[in-house]
Amino acid sequence: MEWIFIYSALILIGALLATSLGETIANALGASEEKLSWMANDRTRKLGAMQLMLLGGFIASIDLFWIQNKYMEYSGITAASTAMDIFGLNFDTTTFVGDLENNNFFGIPWGFGGMLFFVIIGWFTLSIKAEPTATWVDLFLKLGVLSTGFGVAVSLYLVYIQTFVMDGVYSLEATIIQLTIFSLLLAFASLQKMKNEGTWVEKKYDSDPLDKKRKRRSGGYIAPTIDSEE
């Protein structure tokens, strides 16, 4: 149960930093090129925020997958899962994972599917962050939007299953994962908008890592000279 507070905090902080409020937080913390440089401009702050959300979502998926495995191993558990009423909704992960017909997506357990999803989206995000001026960034941004859009569609399908097939039984862990996927879609859409509007690169903070490597190679090596007395 304590894990839910850890990954919920990571996701919440990431979601806040990815919004316009993130700029206010960055300014309050005094972010600059020398201090908290990843929060110094919109692009790097949003990508860093997405990493926090991805980490939180991945841990949440592990948690859900672990609960499901324990349920299958011991034929029902209660201590490791959450069961509570929130806003009149019945959140009972044990009952959710216990529905053998609906606790998976085409045979893939929801928790394991979430882990795969966050790994793929994480690869897109880390690649874009590592080389923001690469020619393939546009493609990866579009793939990110499409992938998270698909994730939102699957999440809505799961909500339908929980509401109408499982008679209103929800999983708090699954709901947190769904909200994370939706937040990632908004973040990718925001990054795509920045790219289209020409605000993607800020010369004050940005530099091409490949260009740095080329400069180091072309600079050559100058051996130190040692004065000798004759």
Taking the C-alpha atoms of residue 174 and residue 81, their distance in angstroms, rounded to an integer, is 11
The region, left, alpha or beta by phi > 0 then psi within -120 to 50, assigned to residue 31 is beta
Q: Each residue of 4-53: pLDDT tens digit?
A: 899 999 999 999 999 988 888 887 887 777 777 778 788 999 999 999 99
Supply 58's token pair.
């991945």
CB half-sphere exposure, 150, CA atoms < 13 A: 11
The lowest-confidence range among 3-17, 23-37, 94-108, 143-157 is 23-37
* Separation CA 92–CA 195 (nearest Å): 42
**pLDDT tens sequence across 194-221:** 999 988 887 555 554 444 444 445 455 4
Q: pTM to 2 decimals?
A: 0.83
In the CATH scheme, what architecture does the domain 2-200 have?
A: Up-down Bundle (1.20)
Residue 37 DSSP code: G
Centroid of chain to Cα 190? 14
